[in-house]
Structure formats: structure tokens, C-alpha cells
Structure 1
């Protein structure tokens, strides 16, 4: 991971959310690279993952933590409480929405969830930043709905 990535507020928040779920404290001594390793998959690794059966619960948990960190970043920038809502079909596709008040600030459709991952920490952060910017812009465009 680059020094820039370690200073990225999104990456810091994601690591915090992941470590907060560790009841034994084992992840506290792990480096951020090790904590984020399950999110990083090469294209070859993704191709090897079969697309049949229910998505692994660990993958669903990683998706949830990823969007929790995005929601927190939007909250920090807007001052609005963000609520993530995830609906995933057993075949591995679905939707994650982040709401602020009555406003859907982010609407992210996901497919091939079995293969959820990114080429690098930087790629993961860049994708998250696009969603964060989208959420902030939507809240700024419709502040009354976000406050409702």
C-alpha cells in the first residue's frame, strides 16, 4: 500500500470498521495491508471464483464494511446521518443504497458479488471516492429532502 493510501480517510475508516468487528483483538496487531488483503483480488483470482451458489457470508460482510466506510465519509462531509441498506439476491446480485433522511444519496447496483474485490487499495479508494462524491453532491442538491 502506498503512503498516500495509508493517509486516505476512507481507508482509515474502512480499517476502523473492520477492526471494530474483531472480538478477540487479533486484528489490532495486523498491518492495514493485512486487514485489507481480502478486498484485493487480481483479475485472475476473480475469474477462478465460481458464480453459483449463495455469496459467501464473508464477502457480504466485506461489502457491508466497505459501504459503512463510504457512509461515514459522506456523514463527515455533510453532517447528515447516512443509513446503508443492502438487498442482495442469493445469486449474487443486488443493490446497496445509502440514505440521508428521505433522500437516496447513493444507489449502487452490484452484480457478480461472489467476485467482489479490487485490483489494488488505490483502485478501491478511487471507486469509493466516486460514490462519496456522488452522495455529497446529491445531498447538497436536495438538502431539504436529506433533512426530512
Structure 2
């Protein structure tokens, strides 16, 4: 299952620059950011809401909020080419996103708990 998250440079080059995201790619995006949301919840003890919106061209945004605070906002481009070179890169990216969200919560604890 995790192997689906790896896309080598050769595979990425074979995917057209412009294209509609396929359902399996959208599912991978959804699963990755859902896992990030769960990790933020576990680390912060707060309920996190996730909004993921992708256009037909593969451009979009993912937002993580808790109460009144946007803890993480990420612009997505080329969603139809989503994937990581290695599983280690996937884990590193997810960990960085979680750390960034936790920093926001720690910087604004009153807003996060309002």
C-alpha cells in the first residue's frame, strides 16, 4: 500500500505536465493529508478539521484548522503527479508538516483552544 506513494523521477517525467488528476492519485493525496491531520491531533490533543480542494487542473489547497486557528495551509500544484521519490521523503514531508502545525498551535494556544 505504501509503495503507491512513491513516484520515481522517470515515472514523474512520463506523466504529462498538464492533466486531470486520476481517482487513485486523489485518493493518495487524501490519505496522505488525512494521516498528517491524525498526527497533528495526536501531538496536540485538539480536534483538527481538514479541507482538501483540488481543481480539474490539479491545483488546489489543503487547510488544517482547529477552532478559530488555521494551523496549516498548503498550496497544491500538479496534483496529478503527486508522490514522493522514496518512502523516507514521504515520512520527512509529513513530519515537517506536523511540526509546522504544532508550532502554530504553540504560538497561538488561546486561539487554538477558543
**Normalised by the size of structure 2, how large is the TM-score?**
0.95
Residues 1-148 of structure 1 correspond to what in structure 2 (within 5 A)? 35-148=1-114
Unaligned runs of at least 5 residues, structure 2: none
Q: Whose strand fraction is larger, Structure 1's or Structure 2's? A: 2
* Structure 2 CA distance for aligned equivalents of residues 101 and 62 of structure 1: 27
How far the C-alpha of 1:145 sits from its partner, in A, is 1.3
Q: Deviations over 1:58-111 (max 9, x none)?
A: 111111110111111111111011111011111001100111111111111110
Shift of 1:36: 0.7
Instruction: Extract unaligned runs of 5+ from structure 1.
Output: 1-34
Q: Which structure is larger by alpha-carbon Rg, 1 or 2?
A: 1
Q: Which has the higher contact order (CA 8 A, sep 6+)?
A: 2
**Cα distance in structure 2, aligned partners of 1:86 and 1:60:** 10
**Distance (whole Å) between structure 1 residues aligned to residue 21 and residue 53 of structure 2:** 12
SS at match of 2:99: helix
Q: How many residues matched?
A: 114
Task: Give me the TM-score of the superposition, normalised by structure 1.
Answer: 0.74
**Cα RMSD for the two superposed structures:** 1.0
Of Structure 1 and Structure 2, the greater helix share is in: 1
* Runs of 4+ residues over 4 Å off in structure 1: none
